[in-house]
Amino acid sequence: MDCFADILFALNKHCFSLLSMWIKEALQPPGFPSARLSPEQKDTFSQQILRERVNKRRVKEMVKEFTLLCRGLHGTDYTADY
Provide the residue type at 63 as one letter: V
Tell me if 58 is assigned to some domain.
yes
Interval 16-45: pLDDT, tens: 999 999 999 999 999 999 999 999 999 999
Tell me if 33 is assigned to some domain.
no
The residue segments making up the domain with residue 24 are: 2-28+38-81
Tally of domains in the chain: 1
Q: What is the pTM of this model?
A: 0.85
In residues, how long is the chain? 82
Tell me how far apart the alpha carbons of residues 69 and 67 are, in angstroms, rounded to a whole number: 5
Q: Please tell me which residue, 56 or 74, carries the higher pLDDT value.
A: 56
Tell me how far apart the alpha carbons of residues 77 and 82 are, in angstroms, rounded to a whole number: 10
The whole-number pLDDT of residue 78 equals 60
